[in-house]
Chain A
């Protein structure tokens, strides 16, 4: 349904998207996860036909977004970063206009707008000017605009930003219910959002895909990793290399010491290794004053942070 191949977007001085490829099957909900400035919005702007790519291709519903732009656009409902709402228009009037722009027939536009308002919970503000609404309500109007013409593909750029917790849950439920019938790609930089709504996730950072998997897949891969935290009385600077050399250790980081607290070293190790006794031996023989030694599993949140941390050791999954 969505086919992205080697997409590149170059702004004047920087490459925002660097050879991204992925695909989304019909009915799937894909989470597009990445930190600020990763290139999520840029990719979505290209998919929506708002902006041309510098190189590469993207197909929506079988139509090339550049060569068959009108057909591709007709298949899409798009919620940009900033909801494209006219402040001087009333909610319902705006939604009817947006639906008509997307080819909904005059006689059906009113019903389409009403359905969308219903789904997004904005029926009670339908006669108010959008400029007088709160940010969260504007966001919902933007979302209603994207779904009003019932497009097969939805491209949603941070759909729950600015909403209150109750609304976030409602909108996530709405998005989940739209999946199956609609193919959805949604961007976010908050992990729980992906956990709550998406079947699959593409993680991007600095314009490249760093991971692509089902949610369970990523969790499984990451949660089998463990982290050992050492608390030491003396500065372990000299033995870091030794610790690193222990079989199974994949990454090492020393946190800066605060006054009156022990030195701490975080050691990450691969699946199936128990490095605790080896680490303890090194610390004791170097007489560093081993105070604590804790082992914990990495949460999905940690996994995400790890994925997008520029550290060659941890990037290799």
Chain B
């Protein structure tokens, strides 16, 4: 526990010593700001149109701003996380510092969990910067807090899953680019896996949807918390971290 925190703190600090963290957060916030602005102006435009013709359903804030905003955050995180996680273990292998971790009297699980926490904490910090958007909405109109909360919960779970998958690949190679590419490929595949679902048979369609990272996020974005989704993310995280620990323990170093 103590060792886990020691490693988590050091790795988190490393992100902020180098420009990585600042660049990633800045790029992310720039893109999100741009989206927020556009979604909001499009929404106010359609509200005006609705006021003029009063036909059909009144556009809602949740449907037109909040849900697409956080959905897009999810997509952008998919691109960003491999850059964050690629260095976690691969860099230590390359620089031989992994020898320090492997010969210190600490358990490898502490190392893996510490690394995982550091990556997750960076994403949590990044996501907390986006709290400015719901706060602004709060001053402008009346956002549905359930939906906002659900989106954040979903995003945090998704982020944790991305980090765990990225960490797994970082533990398997000493080449950071390879780790990033394989993480990105795996995550994208888990996104697109449900594409085949509607053509597969009833059983397979359930299985494919069951593995879909986006699929399990959708309930959260409605403000609904379902145990199936929680179980999915928890097991994806656990499975990836276990795999990372195995690679860390058994690969022939050096």
Q: Report Cα–Cα, A100/B18, bound state, in Å.
A: 23
Q: Report Cα–Cα, A86/B97, bound state, in Å.
A: 7
Whether B100 lies near A101 (C-beta < 8 A) is yes
* B:14-38 near A, CB below 8 Å: 14, 17-18
Whether B105 lies near A103 (C-beta < 8 A) is yes
Q: Is B103 an interface residue (CB 8 A)?
A: yes
Q: How far is the CB of A52 from chain B (nearest CB, A)?
A: 9
Q: Is A140 an interface residue (CB 8 A)?
A: no
Q: Report Cα–Cα, A73/B14, bound state, in Å.
A: 26
The binding surface of chain A is classed by DSSP as loop
B interface footprint on A72-98 (CB within 8 Å = 1, 0 otherwise):
011010101011111110000000011
Which bracket fits the contact residues of A? Answer: 20 to 34
Whether B3 lies near A101 (C-beta < 8 A) is yes
Q: Report Cα–Cα, A74/B105, bound state, in Å.
A: 5
Interface size on B, residues (CB 8 A): 22
Q: Report Cα–Cα, A265/B164, bound state, in Å.
A: 68
Q: Is A15 an interface residue (CB 8 A)?
A: no
Q: How far is the CB of B11 from chain A (nearest CB, A)?
A: 10
Q: Is B196 an interface residue (CB 8 A)?
A: no
> Taking CB as reference atom, which chain B residue is nearest A82?
B96
Q: Report Cα–Cα, A145/B100, bound state, in Å.
A: 9
Q: Report Cα–Cα, A71/B3, bound state, in Å.
A: 16
Whether A101 lies near B253 (C-beta < 8 A) is no
Q: Is A310 an interface residue (CB 8 A)?
A: no
Q: Report Cα–Cα, A77/B106, bound state, in Å.
A: 14
Whether A50 lies near B103 (C-beta < 8 A) is yes
Whether B95 lies near A101 (C-beta < 8 A) is no
The 10 A-B pairs at the shortest CB distance, nearest first, are namely A74-B105, A84-B100, A73-B105, A82-B96, A101-B104, A84-B99, A48-B103, A84-B97, A80-B99, A78-B103
Q: List 28 A-B contacts (CB under 8 A).
A: A48-B103, A49-B102, A49-B103, A50-B99, A50-B103, A51-B254, A70-B106, A73-B105, A76-B103, A80-B96, A82-B99, A84-B96, A84-B97, A84-B98, A84-B100, A85-B97, A86-B95, A86-B97, A87-B95, A88-B17, A88-B18, A97-B6, A98-B104, A100-B6, A101-B3, A101-B106, A102-B105, A103-B105
User: Given A74-B105, A97-B10, A102-B105, 6 other A-B contacts at CB below 8 A?
Assistant: A45-B254, A50-B99, A50-B103, A70-B105, A84-B99, A101-B3
